[in-house]
Amino acid sequence: MLSIDTIRALYPRGPAGHLAAFAAQSEDVLGRFGISDTPTRLHYFLAQIGHESGGLTIMQENLNYRAQRLREVWPGRFPTLASASRCAGNPELLANTVYGERMGNRGSASGDGWNYRGRGYIQITGRDGYQQVGQRTGLDLEGSPDLAFAPEHALTVACGFWKWKGLNDICDTGNFGNVTRRINGGLNGQEDREAWLNKVRRVMGGGVPPSEQPGVLDVIDIQRKLRDLGYAEVGAADGDIGPNTRAAITRFRQDHGLPPGVVDNGLIKALGLGDLQTPSSFPGARKS
């Protein structure tokens, strides 16, 4: 379960009702959708919804644009300022214009574009999206789309979207960029998403206390070996098991069928390293 203090640290500007509901539901909901089964899944999920919702502050898509911005966002739809001016400052008309006859929506006159605009922690969009997530959550999102950002349902809806897109399987490959691609269709906002991931790892205690780490030279050997094997997220070989090194170890362990953990006999053997001089206080560490 994620404590209210952890949720507040992650999303300090989020509405109190959402923070409280998120914390109260986290153990059941995240467990039910398999997101809390591994640190990587959980960290990727928390980072992606942090970006998508602006830290739980953006619950509905903002469609109030000036004409010039419309041309930048939808150049094919609005090739001139004159064509964009009709929808400028008119969110409902804009939604029905750009989302009509797409993503399962009917024509612009139906109002589906506006009714099924982006909502929730991960911005589900389009009638098809509301149907698919509704089927996976047991909520009538098609009939009541505002449920997507209600405090009592928002976390469940985000997890339902996660399941719909098969994101747990992608998380298990350790490729954060591919998670973004599945959510967004590209790498839009990836720098901010990476910043969120770093924050999540810091808040979630991604590092290991120095008193419980193997010796500095041993950690450097581990870091260099991980980097040589393609686990680039390890970063610099600095002798400290911080968030980046822990992320690399987590992915390596998953890739090699090792149980959750940090440095232990299984990791050392899988890396092909010799004896390490590790303090007896390090949980599961290899003794010299």
Same domain, 160 and 34: yes
Same domain, 230 and 167: no
How many domains are there within the chain? 3
**pLDDT tens per residue, range 114-150:** 999 999 999 999 999 999 999 999 999 999 999 999 9
For 112-137, the DSSP string reads HHHHT--BTTTTB-SHHHHHHHHHHH
Cross-strand pairs, 60: 119
Neighbours of 259 (CB within 10 A): 9
Domain with 214 in it: 210-271
- Domain end, chosen from 203, 226, 241, is at 203
pTM of the model as a whole: 0.72
3-state helix, strand, coil in the chain (%, to 5): 55, 0, 40
- Domain end, chosen from 178, 203, 228, is at 203
Same domain, 108 and 136: no
- Domain end, chosen from 157, 176, 203, is at 203
Residue 157 CA to residue 32 CA, distance in Å, equals 12
pLDDT at 210: 52
Instruction: Please report, rounded to a whole number, the percentage of residues in the chain having pLDDT higher than 70.
Output: 91
**What CATH code is carried by the domain that includes residue 240?**
1.10.101
User: Residue 280's pLDDT band (boundaries 50, 70, 90)?
Assistant: very low
